[in-house]
Amino acid sequence: MSEARTTELRRLLNRAAHAYYVLDAPEMEDPVYDRLYRELLELETAHPELITPDSPTQRVGGSPAEGFQSVAHRIGLLSLDNAFSAEELEAWYGRLLKVLDRTGDLAMVGELKIDGNALALSYGQGLLVRAATRGDGEHGEEITANVRTIQSVPLRLQLERPPEWVEVRGEALIPDGVFAGINAEREGRGEALFANPRNACAGTLRQLDPKVVAARRLDFFAYTLHLPDDWQPGPADPPRPRSQWESLQWLQAAGFKVNPNAALLPDLAGVEAFFTTWDTGRRALAYATDGVVVKLNDLRLQDAAGFTQKAPRWAIALKYPAEEAPSRLLRLAYQVGRTGVVTPVAEFEPVPLAGTTVSRATLHNADRLAELDLHAGDTIVVRKAGEIIPEVVRVLPDLRPAGAARLELPHVCPECGSELVREEGEAATRCVNSSCPAILRGALRHWVSKGALDVDGLGAKLIEQLVDRGLLRSIADLYGLDAALLASLDRMGAKSAENLVAALAASKAQPWHRQLYGLGIHHVGEVNAKGLAKAFPSAADLATATANTPESITAVFGIGTEIAQSLQQWFATPANQLLLQALERLGFSLAAETEALATGPETPLTGQTFVLTGSLPSLSRSAAQALIEAAGGKVSGSVSKKTSYLVAGEEAGSKLSKAKSLGVAVLDQAGLLELLKAGAP
């Protein structure tokens, strides 16, 4: 009797929630819903074995999380290319026709570009099993407990014969009215206000306590669907979609909330009309939008069009002009980057733009500076490109002070005084003095950054202090620093110094692709570094290829002649050759882990499983994991009887309690490093 009643209650409550939150057509009075919910909760409390993952009582439950695990997406989440004018839209459409070798009109789907946060939802046998953030497109943070609190996300798909797996992409958001209420409550408590709904949504999704997420009433619109090729729908299920338009209908039939303002558009003229209509129509919406997304409707043609390295060819985001505001130029500053590029930066009176206050904007290069015809004290018009990056749009010369001097790039480096150089065909003006302190500081900041060697505790101010005192002249010099020397510096204690030395030592275990990215070779980003490291498993292999077989460099997916030439120049430079030799002497492999290493002699850590929890003093989780795996150990996300060691930092939570109850050995950072030292081959 209890089992049948809980099943019926779940059905009634889930149906009522779908009608209220997704269809916006309530079919049950609130007191009735509350009474049925309490009855279900009482039954499940008395009979825990009857609790199912799709029960409404499971939307919020459990203890706050200790942190978020990185998970790999089954299907990657690529960003969209942007267009900001009809001309750019037409150019994209022309490229699409060329790739597909077609003429004539292509049917498109227009959707509003919601200003929220992308989510990846994974369903297994019809049940929500995982939710993750976009992350870098390949990996995101697992936030399932938080997403379960979003009422418009179905816990179970409304399908008779659900597929083995379903991947759904969509946008989480906080409606404007809800956002205003959240900020009013925060103001009443004396807390800092959120800048805008998107930032509030991002911060909410990363809350450790799902109850906080539930209280902020997030919403969700689904817009992308991925199904297994062999799925056969049941008689009552929607058919397999053959187009993006049918995908939206499928998502709606399966229980998702789909934005009602999408439109099937017959041609490019329809796209432009859709864009124009919503430029004014979006003002009346209850949530923020910053453009429209245009997608090729036919899914087979989408597959044929394929992808670039960063984005699908069959879709584009057409953005609305950003909000603009006038301000007065206070001064023109100059920044010298790690590659020696000198960038002019306008500093102006602070102005509010798109939810934040801005007072600086890059002017890119000498050509842009000349194009603006900028003078001292000018009144300028500022906006946020893509509503994110501040930029100077134009100057208002009628408001220019009398006798104002015209502003230009200097002829010498503002950091070291060396003559600046602008090579023919390049927009950038550079300092070519390899000993320039600004170039060295930039190279060091890049080397220790999160995507590269990920060294905690070595911030920009400490790097500046070390360079200014002449203690660092190259990346390799970092690894000659000792704790006593570091402890003598400003704002550095003995413990912080010891932690930094440990973090530097740990960074030697970072994989080859991170080391390659950390070298800061012009045009080589994180994604390209991964591709190059896979194709050329060592620095020696890559150097040989750049010198002898440059065509093998451009054969790597995503690598063009510009990157190949940059690599060739970098590896041919004597100072860089000396740097690689110095790093090898310091213990850097500058090579990928080979099969021989993976199957070589066992180490004392072979077969041992570690779990990481809490914040370690100087090691990030990724660095600690890299050290353990390099020594032959494995890292797991949960504690069990099979766990060999729990590595616990500050604010360790339930994992520490569980480890103690199971008798699992617990290590702090020092204990881990000692164990790794003992277990080193």
98, 113, 450, 495: the catalytic one is: 113
Q: How far apart are CA 635 and CA 145, in angstroms?
A: 22
Q: In 10 A of CB 367, how many CB atoms?
A: 14
Q: Which of 589, 591, 572, 454 is nearest to 521 (CA)?
A: 572
Q: Give the DSSP per-residue string, 379-446.
A: EEEEEEETTTEEEEEEE-GGGPPTTPPBP---SB-TTT-PBEE--TT-S--EE--TT-HHHHHHHHHH
Q: How far apart are CA 563 and CA 513, in angstroms?
A: 16
Kindly list the distances between the CA atom of residue 27 and the CA atoms of 16, 22, 24, in Å, as whole numbers in the listed order. 6, 12, 10
Q: How far apart are CA 126 and CA 157, in angstroms?
A: 5
Q: Which of 323, 393, 317 is nearest to 89 (CA)?
A: 317
Q: How far apart are CA 315 and CA 356, in angstroms?
A: 29
Inter-residue long-range contacts of 515-519, CB under 8 Å, 24+ positions, other chains counted: 515/452, 515/453, 515/539, 515/583, 515/588, 515/590, 516/542, 517/451, 517/452, 518/446, 518/447, 518/448, 518/449, 518/452, 518/453, 518/475, 519/447, 519/475, 519/570, 519/576, 519/579
Beta carbons within 8 Å of 539's beta carbon, 6+ residues apart: 512, 515, 516, 580, 590, 591
| Pairing label, strands 634-636, 645-648 | unpaired
The yes-or-no answer on residue 113 being catalytic is: yes
Q: Give the DSSP per-residue string, 65-128.
A: PS---EEE-SS--PPPPEE-SHHHHHHHHHHHHHHHT--S---EEEEEEESSEEEEEEEETTEE
402 burial level (CB within 10 Å; 0-12, 13-18, 19+): exposed
Q: Which of 395, 408, 424 is nearest to 344 (CA)?
A: 408
Q: Any idea which residues carry the catalytic annotation?
A: 113
